[in-house]
Amino acid sequence: MLNWNTVLTRAKNGNAAPDRRVEKTDAEWRSQLTPMAYQVTRQAGTERAFSSQMCSLFEPGRYGCVCCGSLLFDASEKFESGTGWPSFTQPIQDNAIDYRADHAHGMTRVETTCSVCDAHLGHVFPDGPAPSGLRYCMNAAALAKEAD
**Active-site residue list:** 137
Strand partners, 143: 65
Q: Which of 49, 20, 37 is nearest to 116 (CA)?
A: 20
Contact status, residue 124 vs residue 32, Cβ threshold 8 Å:
no
Q: What is the CB neighbour count within 10 angstroms for residue 38?
A: 20
Rounded to 5 degrees, what are φ and ψ at 108? -115, 115
Angle at 84 between CA 79 and CA 86, to 5 degrees: 40
* Strand, helix or coil for residue 70: coil
